[in-house]
Structure 1
């Protein structure tokens, strides 16, 4: 949607422009400084100041590509937009297909503050397998799925999420915000999260985020394989299966949202 600049001017032009940017982000999703300046018909420096002002009050936030989107003052925590029941219902069919394709335990999780919580899954039928952990909570940065969710946060959002510091976890390689940000950069490039015995010894996990119709992370799905028989050559096929499943869940969520 385009909001023409020929509409009557507000008595306070800067407020009017800021409101137009909020409407633009709501309608179009993440925007760059360039697109904001073109939309308003102002210099990039002016658009940048307006966007930073919106960020200061929580009306905008930057994603990992340094684009601007609606901030926490306008959008509820995305993982809380759907009930656990709705997420389970939307994911069940995709989890079943994923489980059959990879032959390993697959799980669904959500972010709760700085932790992930397992809410559903399907356990592998193999004799040597990773058990399901429905209901368990742990720091998001030790889980492949948790990393996939966190990678969609900006550095500022990560700092806010872990403003009390990085909690200790005996098998984790991440022990500071600096190492967390560095790891999230790798996850963004790879487009999936991985956990090589970081959550617990003997388990390797791969994970991708599940996004809502607006592209925000609401959950993650993972595969869990005993490290003793994990084959790195299987990573591409497992990641592809995870991405297909995540897309199917996102589509189910979109249909659910449209039905409401």
Structure 2
């Protein structure tokens, strides 16, 4: 028998309850949510907005809410997430402090990438925390870097549902990513945000994660891209070496 914690946080409890309802019933309107919780419609709207932000809910075309990616069954990454976060965290924070842009760590989960860590920079205008979000791998910079390490026939199998023209375009782009060693996402997943990413590999050369830098598009400068990528790749190499040492110890 479970008892309510003595210091329960009502807003957290309400958000979790809405997530349970979405998972069980599949659809929820703001007015329904407000009635279930006994709160105002504006409060219910704010709670649902947070669920959308963290991918527990999505807004449908009918303006009601349906379960998001986090509430749907999904493949599980084989990467050791806790170890990746522990090793990469200090390097990501140092990188973000140096270049004053946010950095992200992500893993490939099926045809998506899941963000498992973010180090935000200190600028007032910055790309915020992405931890927990999932995005289509073929549209993100780190996702492209990871997909470029896979055999082309595997990529074709993974994205066979794409229109043929889009699949050809993706194969061409991954060839370019493979040659230059990094991927770019120029506002493909969020207007006003540009990112570039590289793969992180294990001692055997297999990709285990990707590291990216994301910035407001207004600050993205192609003349500085080569220097940024060099610094990002150096950090990825440091993470790879530390992972190798820990896995061999």
Query: Aligned partners of 1:251, 1:128: CA distance in 2, in Å?
Result: 33
Query: How far did residue 127 of structure 1 move?
Result: 1.0
Equivalent residues of 2:89, 2:119 under 8 A apart: no
Alignment partner, residue 213 of structure 2 = 223
**1:244 matched to 2:241:** no
**1:111 matched to 2:117:** no
- CA deviations on 1:165-192 (whole Å, 9 max, x unpaired) are 139xxxxxx9622111011011112111
**Aligned runs of 1:108-257 on 2, under 5 Å?**
108-163=105-160, 165-166=161-162, 176-257=166-247
Query: Aligned partners of 1:83, 1:127: CA distance in 2, in Å?
Result: 33
Query: Aligned partners of 1:175, 1:130: CA distance in 2, in Å?
Result: 31
Equivalent residues of 1:79, 1:218 under 8 A apart: no
Query: Aligned partners of 1:87, 1:232: CA distance in 2, in Å?
Result: 30
- CA deviations on 1:90-127 (whole Å, 9 max, x unpaired) are 21122122112221010100000010000001111101
Query: Aligned partners of 2:162, 2:128: CA distance in 1, in Å?
Result: 27
Structure 2: segments with no counterpart, 5+ residues: 1-74
CA distance 1:97–1:78, change in 2 (3 Å): farther
Range 93-102 or range 107-116, more displaced: 93-102
Query: How far did residue 256 of structure 1 move?
Result: 1.8
Query: Aligned partners of 2:76, 2:172: CA distance in 1, in Å?
Result: 24
- RMSD over aligned Cα atoms: 2.0
Equivalent residues of 1:209, 1:220 under 8 A apart: yes
Query: Aligned partners of 1:175, 1:145: CA distance in 2, in Å?
Result: 22
Equivalent residues of 1:102, 1:241 under 8 A apart: no
Query: Aligned partners of 1:255, 1:239: CA distance in 2, in Å?
Result: 24
Moved >4 Å (runs of 4+): none
Query: Aligned partners of 2:225, 2:157: CA distance in 1, in Å?
Result: 32
Paired residues, what number? 175
Q: State the SS of the aligned residue for 1:176.
A: helix
TM-score, structure 1 as length reference: 0.64
Query: How far did residue 229 of structure 1 move?
Result: 2.1
Equivalent residues of 2:76, 2:109 under 8 A apart: no
TM-score, structure 2 as length reference: 0.67
